Structure 1
Amino acid sequence: MQPFVYNALPSRVIFGTGTLDQVPQEIKRLGCSKALILTTPQQAKEGKELKKLVGDLAVGIYTNATMHTPTNITDDAVGLAQKLGVDCLVALGGGSTIGLGKAIALRTDLPQIVIPTSYAGSEATPIIGQTQDGQKTTQKTMKVLPEVIIYDISLTLTLPTQMTVTSGLNAIAHAVEALYAQEANPIIDLLAQEGIKSLAKALPVVIRGKEQDVLQARSDALYGAWACGTCLGAVGMSLHHKLCHTLGGTFNLPHAETHTIILPHAIAYNAPYAKSAIAKVASSLGAENAAQAVYDLAKGLGVPYSLKELGMKEEDLEKAADIAVKSPYPNPAPLERERLLKLLRDAWAGNRPE
């Protein structure tokens, strides 16, 4: 066994069906009584229902959480939180809402209760990404790690087909990069392989399986998302996440779809330099070629598999490659502009990795 360092993250995790009902007691458990509920505009209805459930423990609701966590939205939400004198945050939704909760916590140190409705995994990490002036930056700080995560399987049952798949593949990306991260360790390796396996088996059943099997598959997918998110929270990020943050922050491409498209190409890029890690990915997928297996999974489930489909302009690929190599970051394979440009061109065209 090689020497390693492992830091466990201090989050309380509640997993099951119908667990949303536990929000009021979790607010009280934190010693709080003036919660601000956060959602996107699309989930405002669910936020209002949650506010009704919470009753007098909620003093307000903010329904303008936005993809890539733009700082002007955070300014607005922080202003409301201060005006209402809130003492905790309750974020109901996917990565956009969870990101906003983290951004508010970063500035105010308010405790967070997070209720994920997708497989984004951000809820399990002390990582925050924010966008300002067309540039998305990330930082890692325990100030943004949610104190409580409530996973309610029933909240994922109506997750749209495309979001189910892209959100799930986004989660798989967290586990893949954890396997070749600088801080990789045997505990996270096991969790990463478990997360990849759970999601890869569950997603096809959720989308195309028999009705009686879907609830169990949704449960397995949400469990896998937690496992993958925990991996991302415990170790660092590499090429895949750097490229996705560049494409999302600068070119405003949708988060989960971008992760879905870039992942197989990032795996192929790193494969010769991280053979053991990529072999674990392949084994978890039940395949010989990890990059091709991820590509085939996405394409086979009918989600976008090219940047072109997302509206990315071919002439912007050069700029994206320039941004991606600007600041050095850990990655198994050397970060070479021309190789990165080829990766982006293959992703843009939707080519199957070799």
Structure 2
Amino acid sequence: MQLVKVGLCAFGMSGKVFHAPFLKEHPGFFLSAVVERNNEESRIKYPESTLYRSVEDMLQSDVDVVVVNTPVQTHYEYAKMALNAGKNVIVEKPFTINVAEAQELVELANEKKLFLSVYQNRRFDRDYLQVQKIISEGNLGNIKEVEIRFDRFRTDPSGKDHKEDPAKPGSGTLHDLGAHLIDQAVQLFGVPEKLFADVFSMKGDAFANDYFEILLYYKNNLRVRLKSSVFSKEAHYAYTIHGDKGSFLQERTDEQENELVAGAIPVFAEDWTKPLTENDGILNYLNENAEPERVLTKSEPGNYMNYYQQIYEHIVFEEPLPSPGAEVIINMKLIEAAEESSKKGQVITFNDKNL
């Protein structure tokens, strides 16, 4: 099996939870390099990797792929540096802080004939995969109204300036969780015709936005609402979908992040998360006999390993690249449009000039 050498630009939560465990357990990857500017935590679990004190030094090594998993404010700088060093790049979401940076990186990757992928791991959540499945089966008929939520109850400051300081571009929930919800809306329904958004900080002006509501206008009278709040103690359904033949309600039940934080080891080529003990969805629709039918559903496990499997298949077998930068640019355009809409209090219309 061809071995692909990978380097991590940081070893914070993202590196420890979302990347290193999968690179360690996938037989086609070798976690060759880790950047830790001050600590040496990676030496314990990944002693076979080489420790570097800077991204610049790591880029002098023979890694094939660089994972840019640093704060979003540095994504553009490090991704550009890696591409110029001849390395393929995986960038954590959000892709960049703005569209211009994203476009420049995509153009540079094309010029260098290297791949550039954005780590949209929530495409591999069990709840989102279940929504995809239900919609594709067609039991809901023509979809008319959708709400996708990602709520938390985090009323106290986290102390992470790169996420909460309003003076830092790219900070706030819109870039953080919005990058997931917007990506899922685009994957499910495509690019909207118009957008209206309300984005602000419930904790006050000293903090970056921690609340957003985005209304996406589609053809065929479809409306998709994306919403996130850090003042949501009681859980909502994460996905609410209404069509002209029925409705589907899906809870947010993917536990991969929590299990990884607790020390779970992902397994290659099979499900590794704990199975659900209870149903997590409700499907209420008109069956093939036009009779009402209400079914309690249970989603199948998701697996972030599938992202890296797709990366490996792209490298070795030239299969399609998962979440390529050129595709995720549209997410950045929708994030920028949401910021503009909220600031101006206006509906933003998309056309060939701003898409």
Taking structure 1 as the reference length, what is the TM-score of the superposition? 0.31
Computing the radius of gyration over CA atoms, which structure comes out larger, 1 or 2? 2
Judging by fraction of residues, say which structure has more helix: 1
Which structure has more relative contact order (CA 8 Å, sep 6+)? It is 2
Q: Scaled by the length of structure 2, what TM-score is found?
A: 0.31
**Structure showing the higher strand proportion among its residues:** 2
